[in-house]
Amino acid sequence: MQEKEPSLEAIQDIRRMMDRSSRFISLSGLSGISAGVFALAGAFLGARTLNEYYEQKFAVYGYQGAEFQTLKGQLLLIAVSVLVAALLSSYYFTWRKAKADRQTLWNPTSRRLIINMMIPLLAGGVFVLTMLQYDEWRFVAPTCLVFYGIALVNGSKYTLGEVRYLGLLQILLGLICAQPYFVGYGLYFWALGFGGLHILYGVFMWIRYERKGA
């Protein structure tokens, strides 16, 4: 019996090192929650801005003219602010968790995670911009959701495995959103995916991995 212990320990050591060097595990659930909250806030602001335009100005200006350009500018500003706020806040919580885990934030595993997520994200981003060049706005929300979902599925190999399910749900939501029945409800789906699912995922992960340790 004495020899069972060291060999078991050695195998556990090996497993831990293999895992630790190939997956970035310091992703915090709080990052998901904060990104989701900013997404919901952004969606709310966006919906309000759109409603205002439709109620007060659409009858006069329609889909062109200076007022419409202002609307586009406002929406873009909201979108960029949400992106920056979500990135900064999730960076902060993950940085905090990495520090608690005595891990560095910038290591081979996080680099691999970022690179593998950026490939589908950049492709999706360029694709959305191309659609806007053609004034094709109907598939903006579904395309965001589908490409983001693909990025998560792709990145999940390099971080916590649960990210894969978040990705699959985003893809599913995006595909449903693209159906003719839901045209015009893109923002709601967008809020559900980037807001609701992020918060749900964040709470789940926080309860599962961080509650006891914190």
Asked if residues 138 and 179 have their Cβ atoms less than 8 Å apart, the reply is no
Per-residue binding letters, 14-33, with other proteins (x by CB under 8 A): xx-xx-xxx-----------
Distance CA 101, CA 104 (A): 9
Instruction: Specify the residue for token string 């090192």.
Output: 17
Q: Given candidates 66, 102, 212, 213, which one binds other proteins under the rule CB under 8 A?
A: 102
Q: Does 135 bind other proteins (CB under 8 A)?
A: no
- The CB-of-23 to other proteins minimum distance in angstroms stands at 9
Q: Does 1 bind other proteins (CB under 8 A)?
A: yes
Distance CA 106, CA 108 (A): 7
Which is nearer to other proteins, 81 or 103 (by Cβ)? Answer: 103
Q: Does 7 bind other proteins (CB under 8 A)?
A: yes
Q: Does 100 bind other proteins (CB under 8 A)?
A: no
Q: Does 13 bind other proteins (CB under 8 A)?
A: yes
Distances (CA, A) of 11 to 5, 6, 15: 10, 9, 6
Q: Does 80 bind other proteins (CB under 8 A)?
A: no
Q: Does 104 bind other proteins (CB under 8 A)?
A: yes
Q: Does 11 bind other proteins (CB under 8 A)?
A: yes
The one segment of 9-17, 25-33, 147-155, 158-166 that binds other proteins by CB under 8 A: 9-17
Instruction: Specify the residue for token string 């195998």.
Output: 11
Diameter over CA atoms, the chain: 86
- The CB-of-113 to other proteins minimum distance in angstroms stands at 14
Q: Does 59 bind other proteins (CB under 8 A)?
A: no
Distance CA 205, CA 60 (A): 49
Residue 24: DSSP 8-state: B
Asked if residues 94 and 28 have their Cβ atoms less than 8 Å apart, the reply is yes
Other CB atoms within 10 A of residue 151 CB = 22
- Kindly list the residues in this chain that would bind other proteins in the complex (CB under 8 A): 1, 3-4, 7-8, 10-11, 13-15, 17-18, 20-22, 102-104, 107-108
